[in-house]
Every structure is written in C-alpha cells, then in structure tokens.
Structure 1
Amino acid sequence: MSVATTETTTSATAAVGASEDQALEARNSKTVVAVILGGGAGTRLFPLTKRRAKPAVPIGGAYRLIDVPMSNCINSGINKVYILTQFNSQSLNRHLSRAYDCTNGVAFGDGFVEVLAATQTPGSEGKRWFQGTADAVRQFDWLFDDAKSKDIEDVLILSGDHLYRMDYMDFVQSHRQRGAGISICCLPIDGSRASDFGLMKIDDTGRVISFSEKPKGGELKAMVIDTTVLGLSKEEAENKPYIASMGVYIFKKDILLNLLRWRFPTANDFGSEIIPAAAKEINVKAYLFNDYWEDIGTIKSFFEANLALAEQPPRFSFYDDDRPMYTSRRNLPPSTVNNSKITDSIISHGCFLDNCRIEHSVVGVRSRIGSNVHLKDTVMLGADYYETDTERGQLLAEGNVPIGIGENTTIQKCIIDKNARIGKNVIISNSEGVEEADRTSEGFYIRTGVTVVLKNSIIADGLVI
C-alpha cells in the first residue's frame, strides 16, 4: 500500500511538472519574432504624415506611435523585432536608433531591432514597392531562413499605428496551447464602428469560421454573433455583437512562409486576402483583447485619442511602473510654469508656460506658450529644438514670429505640429464649422473639423481661422 501511494504521488508530481514545463515552453519568448508594419502612405493622417511615417507621428506629448508596439514587445520579453518601412521613414529610423539601439537606449540582450526599408532588387518581381501588409512581409521572408532565425517558431505581426497596452506572450501562449496555425487578436465592438474593421464569426471553440473585411449592409448584419462565447456578460454581448480584428496576428513560421510563398503568392494583404482564405483550411483561432485599443489612422482618431489621455480618469495612460512605455532620451529639464491655470491637461517636459490658461489639452516637449494665451481641446506636438532668448528677441524685433504661441492668442479644437510659429493675437477656433480646407500657403489644413497647423509653419499675427 505504501509503495502504491508513493508511485501515485510520483506520477502526479511528474504530471504536474510536465504541465508546468509545457506552460513555460508556451511562454518561451526566445522563439518569437515580431514584425512591426510601418503602414502605407498615411493619407488619412495627412498632413501629420507629410514628412514622417505613420509610426513616427508623436502622441501623448512625449512619445511616438512606434513606441507602443516596441514597448509592448519589451515588456512581453520579445527582443527580436523587425520594423518594415516604406514612406517618409527618415524620422522613424532616427527615433528608433536613438531609443532602441543596444548601445544607447533599451538593452536587448541577445535580441535585435532591425529597420527594413522597402528596396528594389534585380528581376521583375524586385522592381515594385510593398503592395500591402502581406506583400511587405513576403519581400523580406528570406530573413526567416537566416541563421539568427533558426530557433523562431512563431511570427507576431503588429501594426505601428495603434494605441494599447498588451502582454503579447499571453497571446502567444494561447496560440500555442490551442494548437492554432494562425491566431487573430480581436475585440468586441458595437454596430457604430463595425463596418470600419475586418469582422469574424467564430464557433464555440474560438475557431474562426468566416471573415469579412469592412462589410456593409446585409454583409454586416450577417456578421452578428453571440459574443458571450468570448466570456462577455449578456449585457455586454448585446451592446457589442461583433468581433473585430485588431490587425495583430500570430503565425506559425512554417505556415506563414507556406502561405506567402506557395499557397497565396499573389495575395497582398493579410486582413482582406490571406486570413479569410486561410481560415477555410487552417486552424485559425480568435483571441479576445477586451481592453482599451484605438486605431490611430485618421486625424479625428488621433485628435480624440490624445485628448482622451487628459480625461479623468483616462481611458488609457502612459503611466505604469510595471509596464512602462519607452521612448528616446531627451535629457530635458522639468517644465517651467509661471502664474498659469492648467486643468485636465498633460504638460510634457522642457516647456515654458507664462501666465496662460490651458484646458483639456496635451502640450508636447519644448513648447513655449506666451502670456494671456488660452488653449482648449488642443494637441500641441511641441518642438525639436529651443531658440535662445537672444534669438527670440531678435526675431520679435524684426517683426518675425518665434517658435511657440505668441501672447493674447486663443486656440481650440486644434492640432499644432512641431516647430510651428503662431503669432500674437491669433484666433484659431474654426467658428464657421468648416469640415475640410487646404490652406497650405497660410500654414494650416482643416480635417474633419479639426484645424491642423503644419510643421514649421508660420501663423501671422492677428490671423483668424
């Protein structure tokens, strides 16, 4: 009897040990590589993307959009990262080299961060640029045959223009433990935004059984499901009857290469082509992410997501000791605030605020705001450099406008890009409710009712917008 008990105990201990080993293996981040997609030309975010790639667009006063997936990778223990770029990539490349270079920024141990710019190569196939998300990865798929990728089992595909905080290894663990060939990160949404996303229908096991990219009308209604299968309450499920893809995927490496090279060699996009077709023959699983997530793809979404950071309480916060958001070091001093009133706002470091009023706004690094200025519902991206007091005095004496906002100026519902020079007695309020306007010669655009002051532009004294 004693022997039997010992054998049973030993067997149970071994089973527990095996289970723990399997769980540890499922969370092995050393066998994961992340590919961050730099995005297209960014036409919907124009003019913020006029001279920069979408992932290089500043957000939250001190960060850039690329810092979100990069920080999520670091906090998840994923230290092998490729970033694919094509459009206006100079500022993105500079930021990445400053923030994530192993000798200067975040330490990556035995990992790497490599920026892969779109290139043309000999042969007819090499004379074209990226045609879509899948084509971008296909053009660099040879990297997965490289010696430093020999241990890679899974490829994590990420976007460079989303705002969220996520432990990717929870996603990877679920993908591996459920035996999925492909896993799609998804979130439940209501009907008001459903047609803007790729939508899925799943069975009781979480397997994707159909996929529709941005459906409308009858196709949209056909994508309604009971989202309690994802663990939502009945009330939540009634309010959010759709499952939307976040554009965050995991592929088994061998399956990804087979799909790109042999199964669908002409397919250009993951969301609209490869995923829907693969779901018919491969085990594609949905993974629920029921937390804050925003696609920063338009001027309106960029504007609203920034201002949401200043709400109390904010729906998303960059402040998290356990999972910080990283960015490049600037070595700037604390901001100087003189006799000013600030409510529900974010003031970044290195700013000078003098006798001004700021309401529900985000003020970026190195911003200068003059006396009797009133900012409301404004996103100010800051400046790349300082002008000395001598330089500013000389500019003013010559009738020119220094970087920052001049005295007695009122601004609301506005995005002010970097290094903008806004003069004295200016009013920016779009009081006539204009939805769209291109006024490049005057230094601004209006997009979906939001005024966007261009980078390096000059808004003359007394101008009313």
Structure 2
Amino acid sequence: MYTMGNVTRNTIAMVLAGGKGERLSPVTLNRPKPYVPFGGKYKIIDFVLSNLFNSGLKRVYILTQYRAYSLNKHIKECWSKWTGLGEFYDTISPETSSGSEAWFKGTADAIFQFLRFIENSDAEYVAIFGGDHIYKMDISQMISYHILTKADITIAAIEVSAREAKEFGIISVDKECRVTEFIEKPKEPTPIPGRKTCFASMGNYIFSVKKLIEVLKEGKKLHEDLDFGKHVIPMMLNNGDRVFAYNFMDNSIPGMNAEEKGYWKDVGTLDSYYEANMDLIRVDPQLNLYNYKWPILTNQSNSPPAKTVFEEGGRCGKNINSYVCGGCINSGGIVRRSIIGPRSKVHSYSLIEDSILFENVEVGRRAKIKKAIIDENVIIPDGAEIGYDHEADRQNGYTITDSGIVIVTN
C-alpha cells in the first residue's frame, strides 16, 4: 500500500480559483467566488486548501483570475507561510504572466496556459481541484487509488439520486469503476451497477503527468475553450485511455463521525450558499469544524475574543445557537441561529435571526434582521427592519432570492 508521504511527494496540485461566481451575485460583485466568506472566519477556498495541506500536498499552484487581488493577498498572508523547503502555495493569474496569454476560456484551458509549471516539475501526478466547494477529503487516498488502478485520469465522484443527477455531469461506470461514458446533465442518467444512485463528477481530478500533457496539447488543437467535462474526458474515453471514478464515500479522514461521510456542497447559488452556512450551526452538524485532527485552516487575525455585554432589564446581550467570530461585540442585542463575522457589532435591543453577517457589520439599536446575508462593512441603521417586508426590502435596493433570503450590500 502506498503511504501518504510516497504519493504526495510525487504530486503537485493546481487549484482552479478564477471563478466569477455570477450566480452568487451581488455577493461576488467585488470578490471572486473562492474568496467569499463561509462559516464566519473562513473563505470558501480555505476548504480545498486545507484538504490539500492536511493530505500532505504542499506544492500547490492556485490559478486566479476574476478580481484576483484579494484572493492573492489571502494566499500570500495565510497559506504561503506554512510551507517548507521545496514547498509552496503560490497564485498565478493570466494578467500577471506573459503578454501572449489570455483569460481562461475553460477549465482545461486554464491548466494548458500554465502547462510549463507541470512540465518543469519532477511530479508524476497532478491533482486538479476546484476552489469553490465545501467538504473534507484526504486526497492522498484518491491518489493511491489512481496508482493502484493504473489510471490515466481519476475523477472524484459523489453518489446522487437519479432526480439530482440531471443537474450534474454524470459518470457511467462498469463493475470495476472504470468510466464508460460521461454526459453533462443527462435526461436519463445511468445508475451505478447494482445501485439506484448515480455517480456525479465533483470536478476534481488526478492525472498522470505524461497523459495530462499529451491530452491537453491534443485537445487545444481542437478546442479553444478546452474544458475537462466537455472535451478532455470524452476525448480520453474515445481514445481508450484508462478513466476511473473514485467514490467519495470511500474516503475517510481522522476524527470523522459517521454522519459526516460523503458531505459535499456546491455553494454555487445564494440559496445553496445560505443553506450550507446554516448547516454549520445545527446541534450535530454534518460538517464538523471542531475536528482538530483535520482542521480547516485560514488566516488567523489578531482580533480579541467575542464579547457580550449588559444584563439589565430588557437589554441583555445573547448569542443563541450561533457562530460568533473574534472581535465581535454583542452590546445588548439577541442573536439566534446566525453566523456573525469578525469584528461585527450588535447594538442594544436589536434582533438577528437565521442570518449571515460578514466582517465588520454594524447593526444599529432596535434593528431587526431575519433570514438575510449582510455584506462586509455594511451599517444597518437604528430601527431598520430587514427580511420582514420583502416589498420594502426591494424598495431599499436589496436582492431577494426565490426562497426569500435578503441580500444587503454596500
């Protein structure tokens, strides 16, 4: 059996983090999707980078593009300082490379533009992962599977129902989990042999280096907007390459509870983003951020601990069933089932329920907020009401999702 050290020593990782995240607008108007806050203190990209780091993969390129400055700064200040000799967490963007390169036109085109980084490495394998999903995974186990099956490419897959399958790229496999077909959003998805569920691609891949270089160069001759799902995987299947699916349910991490197995969230819409955040504050969350054997890492600020003040008459600072980050002060307000971002302030007699506040939000006296997402640095005036009258919310210029979540930005 291959050990973590053996497989990760011969592997480099490339994280696709250039996404604009249009379906998360207006939250992504001033930041890329991977840099959107999650769970109060984290950024979405911290989850894949923590998985790589905890798995022993410490030679990582992060491919950034849309509004890249904030994300690049986060990587530099947080992730690059945790590496040793010959290790790196480094960002590369098309606008900071040679003048001949253009914006990424597809997921595989992004890797193709920086193929020289792979060609100049001593790696035997490349882990290509997306930067915008929420989950925990020991990636070294997937690399070991790739080696044992002698695969050219291994695709991480989750099991979904036939109804859900119509929203994913679906992988058809034989009894050995060798991929026989890959179809984007099929009307009649093929189930896994012997089961009622289907394999959906997670958009995460392990490639053997020689094969990756070969197929990208071949594919780029045919498709300017070269994409793994649309072009590369079908091309490899047509060529008879060894394409295998790795069942995410087979993956386990130290300290994992049984109910956490298989947890993976695509936070691509405002509703799914909100729901994934709310998952965290359940009594027994499926994603446990308190597992110190597999920590989710991020930039550690110098903020003081969260603080509640006042207990007199009708004014009492209370945080109930909530995440409250460092530097926050609840000065006589009530917070229920909510996530309060770093350095936010809740003033007296205010009420916050079922909501997500980003960093440095100030909620005025007697303000009421329900089922809302409040962007960073927003000041909610005294007495304001958000989430109670959607027509009034629209008149104030707020965005409202189909499920009734109110989005407030500057």
Return the TM-score normalized by structure 2: 0.90
The structure with the larger Rg is: 1
Give the Cα separation in 1 of the matches to 2:207 and 2:75.
25
| 2:191 is the alignment partner of 1:225 | yes
1:248 and 2:204 matched:
yes
- How has the CA–CA distance of structure 1 residues 405 and 273 changed in structure 2, closer, same or farther, with 3 Å as cutoff? same
Check whether the contact 1:57–1:65 (CA below 8 A) recurs between aligned residues.
Answer: yes
Is the Cα–Cα contact under 8 Å of residues 259 and 265 in structure 1 kept in the other structure? Answer: no
| Counterpart pick for 2:108 among 134, 143, 152 | 134
Residue in structure 2 matched with residue 7 of structure 1 by the alignment: none
Paired position in structure 2 for 1:396: none
What secondary structure does 2:190 align onto?
coil
Give 1:20-35 correspondences, 5 Å limit: 23-24=2-3, 27-35=6-14
Task: Please state if 1:46 is matched with 2:25.
Answer: yes
The answer for the alignment partner of 1:59 in structure 2 is: 38
Tell me by how many angstroms 1:143 deviates. Answer: 1.2
Are the structure 2 counterparts of residues 121 and 67 from structure 1 closer, same or farther at C-alpha, using a change threshold of 3 Å? closer
**Cα displacement string for residues 61-102 of structure 1 (whole angstroms, at most 9, x for unaligned residues):** 000011111111110000100011110111101111110123
Q: Is the CA contact (8 Å cut-off) linking 1:33 and 1:152 kept in structure 2?
A: yes
Between the two proteins, the alignment pairs up a number of residues equal to 388
What is the CA–CA distance in structure 2 between the aligned matches of 1:93 and 1:26, rounded to whole Å?
A: 28
Moved more, 339-348 or 262-271: 262-271
Name the CA distance, whole Å, in 2 between partners of 1:79 and 1:242. Answer: 33
Going from structure 1 to structure 2, the CA distance change for 1:120 and 1:344 (only over 3 Å counts) comes to closer
Corresponding residue for residue 408 of structure 1: 366
Return the alpha-carbon distance in structure 2 between the equivalents of residues 342 and 120 of structure 1.
Answer: 44
CA change 1:433–1:319 in 2 (3 A) is: farther
| Cα deviation, residue 381, structure 1 | 1.0
Partner of 2:237: 279
Return the match for 2:400 from 428, 442, 446. 446
Instruction: String of CA shifts for 1:160-191, please: whole Å, max 9, x gaps.
Output: 11000000000000000110000000010123
Distance 1:101 1:25, change over 3 A: closer
When normalised by structure 1's length, the TM-score is 0.79
Kept in 2: contact 1:26–1:176 (CA 8 A) = no
The amino acid that maps onto 2:351 is H
**CA positional deviation for 1:287:** 0.4
Q: Which residue of 2 aligns with 1:36?
A: 15
- Whether 1:315 aligns to 2:273 is no
Tell me how far apart the structure 2 counterparts of residues 50 and 363 of structure 1 sit (CA, whole Å).
Answer: 21
Distance 1:24 1:64 in 2: 30
| Residue identity in the other structure for 1:252 | S
Aligned to 1:260, what secondary structure does the other structure show? helix
The residue correspondences of 1:73-84 to structure 2 (distance < 5 A) are: 73-84=52-63
Contact in 2 for aligned 1:26/1:172 (Cα 8 Å): no
* Aligned counterpart, 1:17: none
What are the superposed Cα offsets for residues 250-274 of structure 1, whole Å, 9 maximum, x if unpaired? 1111111111112453431111221
- Aligned with residue 206 of structure 1, among 149, 154, 177: 177
In the alignment, is the contact (CA less than 8 A) between 2:128 and 2:204 conserved in 1? Answer: yes
Measured in 2, the distance between the counterparts of 1:260 and 1:430 equals 52
Cross-structure match for 2:253: none
- Cα distance in 1 for partners of 2:98, 2:290 equals 48
> How many Å apart are 1:108 and its aligned residue?
3.6
Structure 1 residues 237-286: Cα deviation after superposition (integer angstroms, max 9, x where no partner): 44xx2110000101111111111112453431111221122123211000
Could you list the runs of 5+ residues in structure 2 that have no partner in the other structure? Answer: 250-261, 310-315
- The one-letter amino acid of 1:406's match is G
Using the TM superposition, give the Cα deviation of residue 145 of structure 1 relative to its aligned residue in structure 2, in angstroms: 2.0
Aligned to 2:377: 419
Whether the aligned pair in 1 keeps the contact of 2:390 and 2:400 (CA below 8 Å) is no
Contact 1:409 1:424 in 2 (8 A): yes
Deviations 1:13-52 (A, max 9, x none): xxxxxxx5xx248942111111000133211111111111
Aligned to 2:351: 374
Cα distance between partner residues in 2 of 1:67 and 1:27: 24
Look up the SS of the partner of 1:158 in the other structure. Answer: strand
Shift of 1:58: 0.7
Q: Secondary structure at the match of 1:157?
A: strand
Match in the other structure for 1:112? 88
Q: Percent identical across equivalent pairs?
A: 33
